[in-house]
């Protein structure tokens, strides 16, 4: 009987021990869970400078976490991060790109970014009036783009875009294009080319009747000249009107930007009478009609102006020197304006009228 009591006492002690262990385990588990929840929603220690975390193709979450540690973010145990990654399903849905780690960001907030792909957007702006050479130079200097067309001739670039029969000048719409790190230069060009095609098609469909333009490409060429002639939006339709009337009357366009384009890299910044008399495919002082290609990238406003020119009787214009122009209906009026503005300016600069 004493032996039975002894066995009963041992069983109670064991049961008590199991109970105590369960209580300690539960308490510890509760504390760990509470600590985990606190970790998930506590602001990360990022430091004074905001950081950028990069997720690359093929990265596991462990590799991303290692990269985060190397950036100096030491918050939370790795097991907490991995648990949160499983909870938010980030382990299966990592999105490639760069992620901004800004002040106030929590671990849960960061993993939400990774899961939703809220990556940093970079931008590249094609400037109105750039030619294709300037566009390629600017693309080559963009460090966040993967360079794939370096060294390719222009015709091979156009072939890569699927339009081998097109000359590149004027074929890309001046806009700001957003992209993520690792995007290719050719991808930006493709988007700009598509945007130009759609813009030109829409504008051509709504064009003013009785224009001396046979194709959308001729409209694009005229728009490029308008783009280079003035930076004042209010003047573009008026300048377009001058060129349209000249084309209808069979007059030479006689526009300096076409001469400069025809000279190419030989132009040193000082346009002379000899330049105006040097015949090139684009010299509208020596040749009638539009040049064979655009001379720059025209923006939307210049395209609209080319297809909706202002009415009037003006056939001439000359720059005042402040970005605006004086318009004239007769050669006599134009010569007076030239004498007042252009010749005086050239004389003051020491140039040849």
Mean pLDDT of the chain: 88
- Residue 300's pLDDT is 96
- Residue 13's pLDDT is 54
- Residue 235's pLDDT is 94
- Residue 8's pLDDT is 54
Q: Residue 3: pLDDT above 90?
A: no
- Residue 272's pLDDT is 87
- Residue 306's pLDDT is 97
- Residue 351's pLDDT is 36
Q: Residue 27: pLDDT above 70?
A: no
Q: How confident is the model at residue 214 (pLDDT cuts 50, 70, 90)?
A: very high
Q: Which residue has the higher pLDDT, 162 or 347?
A: 162
User: What global pTM score does this model have?
Assistant: 0.79
Q: Which of 179-183, 204-208, 221-225, 276-280 has the lowest mean pLDDT?
A: 179-183
Q: Residue 353: pLDDT above 50?
A: no
- Residue 343's pLDDT is 62
- Residue 192's pLDDT is 97
- Residue 89's pLDDT is 86
- Residue 91's pLDDT is 83
Identify which of 12-26, 46-60, 223-237 has the greatest average pLDDT. Answer: 223-237
- Residue 348's pLDDT is 45
- Percent of the chain residues past pLDDT 90, beyond the cut: 63
Stretch 77-102: mean pLDDT: 88
Q: Three-state SS across the chain?
A: CHHHHHHHHHHHHHHHHHHHHHHHHHHHHHHHHHHHHHHHCCCCCCCCCCEEEEECCCCCHHHHHHHHHHCCCCCCCHHHHHHHHHHCCHHHCCCCEEEEECCCCCHHHHHHHHHHCCCCCEEEECCCCCCHHHHHHHHHCCCCCECCCCCCCHHHHHHHCCCCCCCCCCCCCCCEEEECCCCEHHHHHHHHHHHHHHHHHHHHHCCCCCCCCCCHHHHHHHHHHHHHHCCCHHHHHHHHHHHHHHHHHCCCCCCHHHHHHHHHHHCCCCCCHHHHHCCCCCCCCCCCCCCCCCCCCCCHHHHHHHHCCCCCCCCEEEECCCCCEEEECCHHHHHHHHHHHHHHHHHHHCCCC
Question: Tokens 């890299």 belong to which residue?
Answer: 265
Q: Tens digits of per-residue pLDDT, 140-169?
A: 999 999 999 999 999 999 999 999 999 999
Q: Which residue has the higher pLDDT, 323 or 237?
A: 237
Q: Tens digits of per-residue pLDDT, 104-120?
A: 999 999 999 998 889 99
Q: How confident is the model at residue 261 (pLDDT cuts 50, 70, 90)?
A: very high
Stretch 62-82: mean pLDDT: 91
């Amino acid at each position: 009987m004493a032996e039975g009591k002894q066995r009963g006492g041992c069983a109670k002690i064991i049961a008590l021990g199991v109970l105590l262990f369960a209580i300690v385990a539960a308490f510890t588990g509760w504390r760990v869970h509470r600590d985990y929840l606190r970790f998930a929603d506590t602001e990360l220690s990022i430091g004074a400078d905001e950081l950028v975390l990069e997720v690359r193709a093929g990265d596991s979450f462990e590799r991303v976490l290692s990269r985060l540690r190397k950036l100096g973010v030491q918050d939370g145990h790795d097991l907490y991060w991995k648990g949160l990654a499983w909870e938010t399903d980030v382990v299966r849905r990592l999105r490639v790109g760069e992620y901004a780690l800004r002040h106030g960001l929590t671990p849960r907030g960061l993993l939400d970014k990774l899961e939703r792909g809220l990556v940093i957007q970079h931008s590249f702006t094609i400037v109105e009036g750039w030619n294709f050479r300037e566009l390629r130079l600017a693309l080559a200097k963009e460090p966040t783009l993967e360079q794939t067309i370096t060294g390719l001739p222009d015709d091979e670039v156009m072939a890569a875009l699927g339009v081998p029969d097109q000359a590149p000048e004027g074929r890309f719409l001046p806009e700001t294009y957003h992209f993520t790190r690792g995007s290719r230069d050719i991808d930006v060009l493709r988007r700009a080319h598509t945007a130009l095609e759609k813009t030109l098609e829409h504008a051509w469909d709504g064009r003013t009747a009785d224009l001396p333009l046979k194709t959308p490409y001729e409209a694009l060429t005229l728009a490029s000249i308008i783009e280079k002639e003035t930076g004042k939006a209010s003047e573009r339709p008026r300048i377009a009107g001058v060129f349209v009337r000249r084309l209808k009357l069979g007059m030479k366009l006689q526009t300096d930007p076409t001469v400069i384009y025809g000279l190419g890299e030989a132009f040193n910044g000082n346009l002379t009478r000899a330049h105006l008399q040097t015949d090139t495919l684009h010299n509208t002082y020596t040749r009638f009609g539009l040049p064979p290609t655009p001379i720059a990238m025209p923006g939307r406003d210049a395209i609209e102006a080319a297809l909706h020119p202002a009415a009037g009787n003006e056939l001439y214009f000359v720059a005042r020197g402040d970005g605006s122009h004086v318009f004239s209906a007769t050669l006599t009026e134009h010569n007076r304006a030239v004498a007042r503005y252009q010749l005086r300016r050239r004389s003051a600069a020491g140039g040849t009228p």
